[in-house]
Amino acid sequence: MTLGAVVIGGTGVATYAVAGPDPQDSGDGLSRTKRPAEVHDIALRPAGTGKRELPRTSTEPFSLLGVSWQGPRTTVDGTAQVRTRALADRAWTDWQPLGLDPHVQEDVEPGMRGASEPLWVGPSDGVEVRVVAADGTSTTGLPKGLEVNLVDPGVTAKEAKNPALGTEGTSTAAYALPAASGDPSAPDSPDP
Antiparallel, parallel or unpaired: β 78-86 and 96-98 = antiparallel
pLDDT attached to residue 101? 77
Residues belonging to the chain = 192
Tell me what percent of the residues of the chain surpass a pLDDT of 90.
43
pLDDT attached to residue 110? 86
pLDDT attached to residue 162? 64
Interior angle at CA 108, CA 102 and CA 110, nearest 5: 120
The pLDDT confidence band at residue 22, using thresholds 50, 70 and 90, is very low
Contact 129, 78 (CB under 8 A): no
Please determine, for residue 2, whether its predicted confidence score (pLDDT) is greater than 90.
no
Please determine, for residue 93, whether its predicted confidence score (pLDDT) is greater than 80.
yes
Phi-psi region of 136 (alpha: psi -120 to 50; beta: other; left: phi over 0): left
pLDDT attached to residue 82? 98
**More reliable by pLDDT, 111 or 17:** 111
Q: What domains lie within the chain, and their CATH numbers?
A: 3-161 (2.60.120)
Q: Report the distance separating Cα 73 and Cα 71, nearest Å.
A: 5
Contact 108, 95 (CB under 8 A): no
